[in-house]
Amino acid sequence: MIKIYTVSSCTSCKKAKNWLNAHQLSYNEHNLGKESISKEEILDILTKTENGIASIVSSKNRYAKNLNCDIEELSVNEVIELITENPRILKSPILIDEKRLQVGYKEDDIRAFLPRSVRNVENAQARLRAAL
């Protein structure tokens, strides 16, 4: 099952949910503006990142800026605590399942959440259209 962490006002979150719906993929939505996020959830996300904290925390958004701290100077445990207290500092959307993680919405990358058989058919159709 795909879990998608969203923020209500995020257009990329809306695009990701529309894409998932259009491809009839089931998901559970976790609205970061309304629901807290557990340390376990953060650790699960972090285990699938390539660049750790930098992959999931937006130091440029207004919520992070309002904290008046340098996130890069904090320990991992301190950042996890900071995220649990201020979940809106996370980039959005974050899509995660048992194997995959995607931060942000990129149509080419989100296709990884399609079952392999569907991906293979869609890729073959795209190659055929390109050849015509």
pTM attached to this predicted model: 0.86
Is 10 marked active-site?
Answer: yes
What is the rounded CA–CA span in Å between residue 113 and residue 132? 27
Number of domains in the chain: 1
pLDDT at site 32:
95
pLDDT digits (tens, 9 = 90+) for 85-115: 999 999 999 999 999 999 999 988 998 898 8
What CATH number is attached to the domain comprising 71?
Answer: 3.40.30.10
pLDDT digits (tens, 9 = 90+) for 24-55: 999 999 999 999 999 999 999 999 999 999 89
- What is the extent of the structural domain holding 29? 1-129
Q: What is the DSSP letter of 40?
A: H
Given the residues 2, 10, 64, 83, the one annotated as active site: 10
pLDDT at site 68:
79
- The pLDDT confidence band at residue 122, using thresholds 50, 70 and 90, is confident
The CA–CA distances, whole Å, from 27 to 16, 50, 75, 101 equal 11, 23, 32, 14
